Amino acid sequence: MAKTFTIKRRVQFAETDLASILHFANYYRFMEEVEHSFWRSVGQSVMADHDGAVISWPRVKTGCEYFAPAHFEDELDLVLTLTDLTNRSVSYEIEFLRGQQRLALGRTTAVCCTMDNGELKAVSIPAFLRTPLEEMAQSRKP
């Protein structure tokens, strides 16, 4: 079974539309929130200092499929699963669950980059960031 990382998140009123349904753009915010929580859970951040450079993870591909609406006050489980790990990038799926019901499935790919005066440069994932990702990836193998 794949190792996952899960947080609980309650839908706030300001995140909904006039029908009290979670606005579609907020799914992307929730995806980012669970990713940030994952990095904090392993003692890291999406912004890290390394060898005098700032490392970050700009997205190069995202998407979200919607199956059923989430509403104001719904408590959701956001389940992050690593789906691919390369030398410079990581891909995740984020499942949005209300109880056992799947509401949405988000996907994102981010590239490890250094940031210098607003310029991004793709780099190999440093060992201190790669280790927690590899541990998650290893748990996916049969």
Q: How high is the pLDDT of residue 90?
A: 97
pTM of the predicted protein model: 0.91
Inter-residue contact 122 to 115 (CB < 8 Å): no
Q: How high is the pLDDT of residue 142?
A: 52
* Residue whose entry in the numeric block shows the structure tokens 């499942």: 95
Give 52's DSSP letter: T
Taking residues 9-14, what's their average pLDDT? 98
**How far apart are the C-alpha atoms of 91 and 89, rounded to whole Å?**
7
Q: How high is the pLDDT of residue 1?
A: 45
Encoding tokens for residue 1?
Answer: 């079974």
Amino acid identity, position 138: Q
Q: How high is the pLDDT of residue 42?
A: 92
Specify the CATH number for the domain of residue 33.
3.10.129.10
Q: How high is the pLDDT of residue 136?
A: 84
Q: How high is the pLDDT of residue 139?
A: 64
**Domain coverage including residue 97:** 4-138
Using pLDDT thresholds of 50, 70 and 90, give the confidence band for residue 26: very high
Higher pLDDT, 13 or 49: 13
In tens, the pLDDT along 103-141 reads 999 999 999 999 988 899 999 999 999 999 998 877 655
**How far apart are the C-alpha atoms of 55 and 50, rounded to whole Å?**
7
Coil, strand or helix: which one is 49?
strand
Encoding tokens for residue 70?
Answer: 């989430």
DSSP assignments along 55-80, one per residue? EE--EEEEEEEE-S--BTT-EEEEEE
* Residue whose entry in the numeric block shows the structure tokens 């450079």: 53
In tens, the pLDDT along 57-91 reads 999 999 999 999 999 999 999 999 999 999 999 99
**How far apart are the C-alpha atoms of 135 and 75, rounded to whole Å?**
28
Q: How high is the pLDDT of residue 51?
A: 87
Using pLDDT thresholds of 50, 70 and 90, give the confidence band for residue 2: low
Inter-residue contact 10 to 3 (CB < 8 Å): no
Count the domains in the chain.
1
